[in-house]
Structures are given as structure tokens and as C-alpha cells.
């Protein structure tokens, strides 16, 4: 019996999570595994009512689950940063979810904005470090509000943090078994402290994975290649900030935020799965948002808790569903949010 915590969150989060849970229920009865859900109402509404984003006691509770399923955070009436930092980043950091795993895969029938590129060209995974770098929130203002002001924002990269992320990336590349090629995406030519450590550790670990081919690309060049030659990539490993940026680019080449999912993974603890697009407030309650990203996130969750077959079946069903939709964009799918969820259930094998 798996225990899954559900945080539907803000905006369209609850709508897409409902479709993910619909698919979960269907695949569980097909494959014969059992689970129980616990709902948590964290998000903008609760914050405005109670002033509390996430209690420490809730974090302790969440440690007891097999996985967390998250919709979206971000509320138009809450100052930007409060929910992002107080909920999403707080969960990632306190649960030590040090990997952010983001597949970039163009599914059949989906129109990529990249001319002449098809599903065989766009199929790679970004391993983003998820607990360090510029996201640690260290820094200071000097002479704030004056013309002499200086704002300092620290990127913290510990050997342990870098090493565990790279080790995960090497192992993931081996296991993925596509081209067994791991690309380090950094900025060694300018950021000569952080990327010196990353590059040294990357090269040192390479000796332990003789079957993995290694490559390096600066982050700016990575953006260029992702557009021009996405077929060159198998697994990309990078830091928190670069990973944030290149995975939005990745989402666009795979057909948009309607399909992009990710996992915040603690290989030794509890992991959290989410569609990577935001809460899309303007579409809330209209049944026009695409639930496929949330459904893909549910598929990743299943693989993570050990229901690999179920996870693969969900992905296969999504890959059939994408051939049936007019578009992946909100309001243009040719179906409502709930109908897309129904299609995925129907297409499950």
C-alpha cells in the first residue's frame, strides 16, 4: 500500500491534479497495486486565510510518504516569491530533493516549433541540481537604496552537493541506456570557481563509468544546440539556475508547458512530482488547461515508487493521446481538460 501526499496548490493545479489522479486510479486497478492519498491544501488561498505557507510539522509528516504529487504554486494575489520560496523551494530543500529530473521528449503528433525535428530528434533528459547554487538565497545589499548600492547573490556549490548530483547523472545515463552520453552544461570560461569544481568532479567521476561518454558545453552554447541539434543530447547535467533556464527552453521544444513534467528527487528519501508549468491563473476553472504534464508527472511518480510498468503504461497512453489532440495549448486541444484525462484512461493498456 503506497502512501501518496497530494498538494493540488493554486490556479489550475487542482484541475490537472484531478486528471492525474483519475489516471492513477485507472492504472492501479489494471496493474493491481493499492495506494492511499492524503490531501494538503497548501497554496495561496490558505496563505491568505491563515498567513501560513508551510508548517514545519507538515514537512515532518510529508517525510512519511512514498511520494508527493504537486499541482502548481503561484497566486495572483500573493506577492511573487512568498509561495515559490515558502512552499516549493522549502519542500525541495527540507526534503533534500537534490535532483530535479526533467525529460525533454517530443511525443508523436506534437508539433515542435523546431522545423524539421521530430520525435527521433528530441529525446533527452536534464538532470538539474536542486538544492544549491544561486537558489540558496545567500547574499546581501550594501548601501541599499543609494546610488552606491551593491546587491550580492551567492552561488553555493559544495563538493558533496556537486558530487552527488553528478553521480546520480552518471548512473541515470547508464540506466537510460540510449547513447550513454552525459553532457555537463556549465560556464567554465567565466564562472571560474563554481564550474572549476563541477568540471573537476565531473572528470574525476568519469573514471567510474567507463561506458559513459562525456561531453561539455557552455550554457549559452547548450541553448543554441538545443534548438539547432537537439539530437546531440542524451543526458545533460547542470546546476540549479542553468537547469531552471534550459528546462523552460526544453519544454518549448517538446511542445510547451502543457506536456512538460519533472521530478524533485531524493534518491534516499521522499520525492515530489509536478507539471513544470505554473498555476496559469487566467485559465483557472475553465476546463481548458492541458492535464498531460500533470499526468506525465504521475507516470514519473509511479516509476519512482517502483511501479515501473505502470509508469511506462501511463507514458505510452499519453503518447497515443498526443496523436489525438489538435494542439497541446490550453483552449486549443479540441477537448476539455477532463476529456483529455478520459482519453488517457481509455488509451491505457
Give residues in contact with Mn ion (CB under 5 A). 244
| Nearer Cβ to ligand IPM (84/309) | 84
In what helix (H) or strand (E) does residue 297 lie, and over which residues does it extend? helix 292-305
By beta-carbon proximity to ligand IPM, the closer residue of 83 and 348 is: 83
Longest dimension (CA), the chain: 65
**Identity of the residue, 19 or 244, whose beta carbon is nearer to Mn ion in the bound complex:** 244
Give the Cα separation of 222 and 216 in Å (integer): 9
Q: Minimum distance between the CB of residue 263 and ligand IPM, rounded to whole angstroms? A: 11
Q: How far is CA 300 from CA 172, 283, 307, 311, 337, in A?
A: 14, 25, 9, 6, 20
Site for ligand IPM in 11-50 (CB under 6 A): none
3-state helix/strand/coil string of 224-238: HHHHHCHHHCCEEEE
Q: Which does 88 bind (CB under 5 to 8 A by kind): Mn ion, ligand IPM, none?
A: ligand IPM
| CA-based nearest residue to 100, from 232, 289, 294, 297 | 297
Please identify the residue of the shown chain whose CB is closest to the bound Mn ion.
244
Contact characters 82-101, ligand IPM, x per CB under 6 A:
--x---xx------------
179 binds ligand IPM (CB under 6 A): no
Select from 81-89, 186-194, 198-206, 252-260 the region that touches ligand IPM (CB under 6 A): 81-89
Output the residue with the shortest Cβ distance to ligand IPM. 84
3-class secondary-structure state, position 48: helix
CA angle 277-278-280, nearest 5°? 115
Applying CB under 6 A, what is the total number of residues that bind ligand IPM? Answer: 5
Work out which of 244, 260, 261, 293 binds ligand IPM, going by CB under 6 A. 244
**276 is an interface residue for ligand IPM by CB under 6 A:** yes
* DSSP, res 281: G
281 forms part of the interface with ligand IPM (CB under 6 A): no
Minimum Å distance from CB 9 to ligand IPM? 11
Q: Are 250 and 140 in contact (CB under 8 A)?
A: no
Across the strands, what pairs with 316? Answer: none
Phi, psi of 301 (to 5 degrees): -60, -45
348 binds, among ligand IPM, Mn ion, none (CB under 5 to 8 A by kind): none
Chain residues that interact with ligand IPM, rule: CB under 6 A = 84, 88-89, 244, 276
Amino acid at each position: 500500500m503506497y502512501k501518496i501526499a497530494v498538494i493540488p496548490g493554486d490556479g489550475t493545479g487542482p484541475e490537472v491534479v484531478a486528471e492525474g489522479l483519475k489516471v492513477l486510479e485507472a492504472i492501479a486497478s489494471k496493474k493491481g497495486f493499492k495506494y492511499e492519498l492524503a490531501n494538503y491544501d497548501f497554496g495561496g488561498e490558505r496563505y491568505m486565510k491563515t498567513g501560513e505557507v508551510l508548517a514545519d510539522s507538515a514537512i515532518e509528516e510529508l517525510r512519511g510518504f512514498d511520494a508527493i504529487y504537486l499541482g502548481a504554486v503561484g497566486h495572483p494575489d500573493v506577492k511573487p516569491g512568498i509561495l515559490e520560496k515558502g512552499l516549493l523551494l522549502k519542500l525541495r530543500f527540507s526534503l533534500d530533493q537534490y535532483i530535479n529530473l526533467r525529460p525533454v521528449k517530443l511525443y508523436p503528433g506534437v508539433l515542435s516549433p523546431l522545423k524539421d525535428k521530430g520525435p527521433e530528434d528530441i529525446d533527452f533528459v536534464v538532470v538539474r541540481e536542486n538544492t544549491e547554487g544561486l537558489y540558496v538565497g545567500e547574499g546581501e545589499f550594501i548601501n541599499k537604496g543609494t546610488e552606491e548600492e551593491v546587491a550580492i547573490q551567492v552561488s553555493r556549490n559544495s563538493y558533496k552537493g556537486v558530487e552527488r548530483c553528478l553521480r546520480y547523472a552518471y548512473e541515470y545515463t547508464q540506466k537510460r541506456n540510449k547513447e550513454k552520453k552525459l553532457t555537463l552544461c556549465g560556464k567554465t570560461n567565466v564562472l571560474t570557481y563554481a564550474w572549476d569544481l563541477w568540471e573537476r568532479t565531473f572528470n574525476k567521476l568519469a573514471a567510474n563509468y567507463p561506458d559513459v561518454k562525456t561531453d561539455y558545453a557552455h550554457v549559452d552554447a547548450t541553448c543554441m544546440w538545443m534548438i539547432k541539434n537537439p539530437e546531440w543530447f542524451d543526458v545533460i547535467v547542470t546546476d540549479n539556475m542553468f537547469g531552471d533556464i534550459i528546462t523552460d527552453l526544453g519544454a518549448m521544444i517538446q511542445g510547451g508547458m502543457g506536456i512538460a513534467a519533472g521530478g524533485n528527487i531524493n534518491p534516499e528519501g521522499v520525492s515530489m512530482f509536478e507539471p513544470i508549468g505554473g498555476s496559469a491563473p487566467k485559465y483557472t476553472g475553465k476546463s481548458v488547461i492541458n492535464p498531460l504534464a500533470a499526468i506525465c508527472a504521475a507516470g514519473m511518480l509511479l516509476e519512482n515508487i517502483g511501479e515501473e510498468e505502470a509508469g511506462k503504461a501511463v507514458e505510452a497512453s499519453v503518447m497515443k493521446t498526443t496523436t489525438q489532440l489538435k494542439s497541446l495549448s490550453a483552449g486549443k486541444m479540441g477537448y476539455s481538460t477532463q476529456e483529455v484525462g478520459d482519453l488517457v484512461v481509455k488509451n491505457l493498456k
